[in-house]
A and B are shown apart, each in its own frame.
Chain A
Amino acid sequence: MIFKIAWRNIWRSRTRSIVVILAVMIGIWAVIFMLSFSNGMIESYIDNAIENQISHIQLHNPDFKKDQESQYFIENASGLEDDLRSQVEVESATVRSLATGMLTTSKGQRGVQIRGVQPTSEASVTKLDQKLVEGEYFDPETDNRILVGKSLSEELNLKIRSKVVLAFQSLDGEIIYAAFRVIGMYETDNNAYDESNVFVTQQDLNRLLGKENIGHEAAILLHSLDEIDPVQSRLTESRPDLLVENYAEISPEIELFNTQMQMSSTIIIVIVMLALIFGIINTMLMAVLERYKELGMLMAVGMNKVRVFFMIVLETLMLGLIALPLGMGLGYGTVSYLSKYGLDLSTYSEGMQEFGMSEIVYPTVNSGLYIQLGLAVLITALLGSIYPAFKAIRLRPVEAMRKV
């Protein structure tokens, strides 16, 4: 009967109960939405970084990582690429040559990373061919062609067929100047990357560097993130001469970004839950204060303090338990919809692209969050009920019943 009394009690002040249920429901929805949104941002950032630049695993000459100098190359690049492609977990792999140099046009010059790629395998790893917004991809029959970032082309007023000069150091230390013709412009979700990276064919770059069949960076795209650790371990063992790193090791800022987003999400959850606790305390305190006389009567006729305490806690839990599925349902619905259609943030796309994120975010949430949130709401309701419940059992029946 205590359940019955508690249940009916919460509907005595229908408006007040509905308001607190709505508050808890919106709080739950907000937490789910914010967490799924930040998850979506993190995933977008990581996906973009993996897809555009890093891939899942990279291999380098250990000295290249220290100085970024072209002389620290990997021998037999084609053999390495074949070897990497033969691994079952590998979706695609490519080996690139890299050089740091200066791109000069009639309008000005800019320091760039020159990426000498094999057109086909690069396209399978970074989908470079699909990122072209103007012009065309590499034609294996023609030499000295270059792809530049859209934002770099705007900065240097480059057009299709414009001529640029790349200056960089060859393997024997000579400064090489080579003219390239712009055949295409690409655009990723990361403006900073687009402004500082240009693509030529590996064949052209290696020829200018002065050695055939070399590379500086092998990039591997796996079928799934779960395969990173075993593949990395195996490669480390089989190629002790190379430095094998996963995306988090290559770009520690990804992990930092991830951690920061998770920390801010946790802080937001704590703030929302604190606000809910005070909302619940306020509501239940009002419920107790306006029922002083009744609670006094209950104790007068023999309801002990444990039962009174339990009844107040139960009323609070019931409010939480009504709000919980509603909030979760609303959150689940919102996330399901947005994970399918995306949240268009094109208004802020410039700022987001500076940080390497897509302008459309697809919120995602793992099912564990619903369990954690359920527990958090129950704990919040319990904490919120303690003070009002203590207030109720401190009543002395004879005094409570005198109150009007």
Chain B
Amino acid sequence: MNIIEATGIEKVYNPNKIAVHALNGVDLTIEQGEFTAIVGPSGSGKTTLLNIIGGLDHPTAGSVKVEGTDISTLNDNQLIDFRKEHIGFVFQAYNLIPVLTAKENVEFVMLLQKRSQQERETRSMELLRAVGLEDQVNKRPSQLSGGQQQRVAVARALAPKPTFVMADEPTANLDSKSTANLLDIMARLNKEENITFLFSTHDQRVIDRARRVVTLVDGRIETDETKF
């Protein structure tokens, strides 16, 4: 079942001045349970495509449907609500809330979703256990290593039970051990719980673990390979 259908995506920055065409008619579909990496050289449009699919940016042309909803037509407030319910985010620089503990960070989006305290409590502990941080729940981000912070970010992304998790260069700031550890966790969650992951990455280690690799060059999909 297709959960993401991006059709004819174009993105032009500075259309009235010196126009920069970041995406030139990208068509992409993602099915439930995929573990997909979007790769390509710097400036190829990976992050732009991810931002548009993740509802953080509007395309200049084309449409993005997530579970049948055309998010390219939603306004900013509707997009915020949509992201809250459907999309989990993992950012390159972790971007946890520095004044909250690991557990509170994981609970945060569930709180925005108005989930009950008991549900928040149970799910955040489950997720932190799943990413191997059950003994770090009361630590703030500044007390955790980069790898641990990114694992908290993965737990936070999964907390709202999103349609898919979007990860923008998730391993860019991590050492090899932390990268391997993080990829193991995400691969396990993908396999065991059928969670859909969509990455943008330069990292060969991530590319090696992805089951589908979409290569972007100059804002166009050059190759789209699925490994078996």
Interface range for A: 20 to 34
* B81 contact from A9, A12, A304, Cβ within 8 A: A304
Residue A88 interfacial (CB < 8 Å): no
Chain B residue at minimal CB-CB distance from A5: B99
Residue B107 interfacial (CB < 8 Å): yes
A297 to B88, CA, bound (A): 12
A84 to chain B, nearest CB (A): 72
* B156 contact from A1, A4, A301, Cβ within 8 A: A301
Contact A398 B85 (CB under 8 A): no
A187 to B113, CA, bound (A): 78
A99 to B111, CA, bound (A): 85
* A302 contact from B51, B80, B95, Cβ within 8 A: B80
Contact B108 A1 (CB under 8 A): yes
Minimum-distance CB pairs A-B, first 9? A302-B84, A8-B99, A297-B95, A398-B56, A398-B57, A302-B112, A304-B80, A1-B111, A398-B51
* A294 contact from B56, B98, B156, Cβ within 8 A: B98
Contact A8 B100 (CB under 8 A): yes
Contact B77 A302 (CB under 8 A): no
A22 to chain B, nearest CB (A): 22
Chain B residue at minimal CB-CB distance from A6: B99
Question: B-facing mask of A280-305, CB < 8 A → 1, else 0?
Answer: 00000000000001100111111111
Query: Contacts A1-B107, A300-B56, A300-B89: A305 and B80 contacting too (C-beta < 8 A)?
Result: yes
Q: Which residues of B contact A12 (CB under 8 A)?
A: 98-99
A397 to B95, CA, bound (A): 12
Report A291-341 residues with CB < 8 Å from chain B CB. 293-294, 297-305, 307
A385 to B160, CA, bound (A): 31
A78 to chain B, nearest CB (A): 82
Q: Which residues of B contact A396 (CB under 8 A)?
A: 76
Residue A401 interfacial (CB < 8 Å): yes
Contact B95 A401 (CB under 8 A): yes
Query: Contacts A12-B98, A294-B98, A301-B108: A401 and B91 contacting too (C-beta < 8 A)?
Result: yes
Report A388-404 residues with CB < 8 Å from chain B CB. 396-398, 401
Residue B97 interfacial (CB < 8 Å): yes
B131 to chain A, nearest CB (A): 17
Residue B83 interfacial (CB < 8 Å): yes
A297 to B91, CA, bound (A): 9
Q: Which residues of A contact B77 (CB under 8 A)?
A: 304-305
A294 to B84, CA, bound (A): 16
Residue B158 interfacial (CB < 8 Å): no
